[in-house]
């Protein structure tokens, strides 16, 4: 075992908030407590001895074992120290999947967290613009990368086709532009209605 120095530094500084530090294939992984994760990540970024100034990736992992918690994964890197650290937050699936956003620490987290929300349904508290990013705004089949999401989607192929044909192109366009225009109330009533209830999304 060759735990990186950051792992032991974390444990001595944050004690029980760092539940364990393990190593896998040469990478060090620190599991941290959800409630103190933001504080720990901020320390890792700003402490001169750590200086993880580069956020390589944010994603989530759900295991095939339904009992195992879902993990939110941060890949951190220090460009000058040439060191890597993986920080994980475990989220029990019975509780709401929520963590604090790190957008204020790394701007690069913006789209990464949006994607994690889009694909896993993890909510990032304090994110400036938490919307779906790869799927469309009114998509309501669920979160595609969750293990309870079948490869072909929740809806039948016939239902998916029906919705695709019945859908209005405007429903694909996000409400973001509407908020720019602040003209939602000026839209034709039927369109406002469609956008509000998310025509392609909620069925029946």
Partner 1 sequence: MSTRTVEATLSTTGVDEQGNPIGIPLTVRSGDEEHMLINLGPQHPATHGVLRLVIELEGETVVRVIPHIGYLHSGFEKLGEYRHYNQIVPLTDRTDYLSPMANNVALALAAEKLMGIEITERCRVLRVIACEMSRIISHLVWLGTTGIDMGAYTPFLWLFQQRERIYDLQEAWTGARLTTSLTRVGGLLADVPDGWEEGLREFCRTFPKVLREVDTMFTRNAIWIGRNQGVGAIAAEEATNYSLSGPMLRASGVDYDVRKDRPYLGYETYDFDVPVGEHGDNYDRYLVRMEEMFQSTRIMEQALARLKPGPINVDNPRVILPPKSRAMSDMEAMIFHFKQVMEGVRAPVGEAYMGIENPKGELGYYFVSDGTAKPVRWRIRPPSFLNLASLPRLCEGVLLSDVIAINASVDIVMGEIDR
| Site for partner 1, rule CB under 8 A | 24-27, 29, 53-57, 59, 61-65, 73, 75, 79, 82, 84, 86, 106-112, 115, 119, 132-136, 144-145, 149, 151, 168-170, 173-174, 176-178, 180-183, 186-188, 191, 195
| Alpha carbon distances (Å) from 49 to 6, 77, 79, 83 | 9, 13, 13, 11
User: SS3 of 76, please?
Assistant: strand
CB of residue 150 vs partner 1: minimum separation in angstroms? 10
| Rounded Cα gap, residues 18 and 37, in angstroms | 9
| Rounded Cα gap, residues 12 and 60, in angstroms | 26
CB of residue 167 vs partner 1: minimum separation in angstroms? 13
| Rounded Cα gap, residues 11 and 21, in angstroms | 8
**CB nearer to partner 1: pick between 11 and 59:** 59
* Cβ proximity of 61 and 116 under 8 Å: no
CB of residue 63 vs partner 1: minimum separation in angstroms? 6
CB of residue 158 vs partner 1: minimum separation in angstroms? 20
**CB nearer to partner 1: pick between 144 and 201:** 144
Residue 95 half-sphere exposure toward CB, CA atoms < 13 A: 10
CB of residue 178 vs partner 1: minimum separation in angstroms? 6
CA torsion sign for 84, 24, 87, 61 is: positive
**CB nearer to partner 1: pick between 151 and 158:** 151
**CB nearer to partner 1: pick between 67 and 204:** 67
CB of residue 107 vs partner 1: minimum separation in angstroms? 5
State the pairing for strand pair 123-125/98-100.
Answer: parallel
| Rounded Cα gap, residues 177 and 101, in angstroms | 24
**CB nearer to partner 1: pick between 9 and 52:** 52
Which residues on neighbouring strands pair with residue 66, listed in sequence order? none
**CB nearer to partner 1: pick between 12 and 24:** 24
């Amino acid at each position: 075992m060759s735990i990186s120095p950051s792992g032991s530094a974390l444990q001595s500084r944050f004690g029980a908030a760092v539940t364990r530090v393990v190593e896998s294939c040469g990478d060090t992984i620190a599991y941290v407590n959800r409630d103190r994760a933001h504080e720990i990540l901020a320390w890792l970024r700003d402490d001169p001895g750590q200086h993880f100034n580069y956020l390589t990736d944010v994603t989530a992992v759900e295991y095939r074992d339904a009992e195992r918690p879902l993990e939110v994964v941060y890949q951190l890197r220090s460009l000058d120290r040439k060191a890597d650290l993986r920080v994980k937050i475990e989220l029990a699936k019975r509780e709401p999947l929520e963590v604090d956003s790190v957008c204020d620490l790394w701007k690069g987290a913006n789209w990464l967290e949006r994607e994690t929300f889009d694909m896993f349904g993890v909510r990032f508290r304090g994110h400036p613009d938490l919307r779906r990013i790869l799927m469309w705004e009114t998509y309501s089949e669920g979160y595609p990368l969750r293990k309870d999401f079948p490869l072909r989607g929740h809806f039948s192929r016939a239902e998916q086709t029906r919705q695709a044909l019945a859908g209005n192109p405007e429903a694909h366009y996000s409400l973001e532009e509407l908020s720019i225009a602040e003209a939602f109330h000026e839209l034709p009533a039927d369109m406002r209605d469609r956008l509000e209830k998310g025509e392609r999304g909620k069925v029946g």
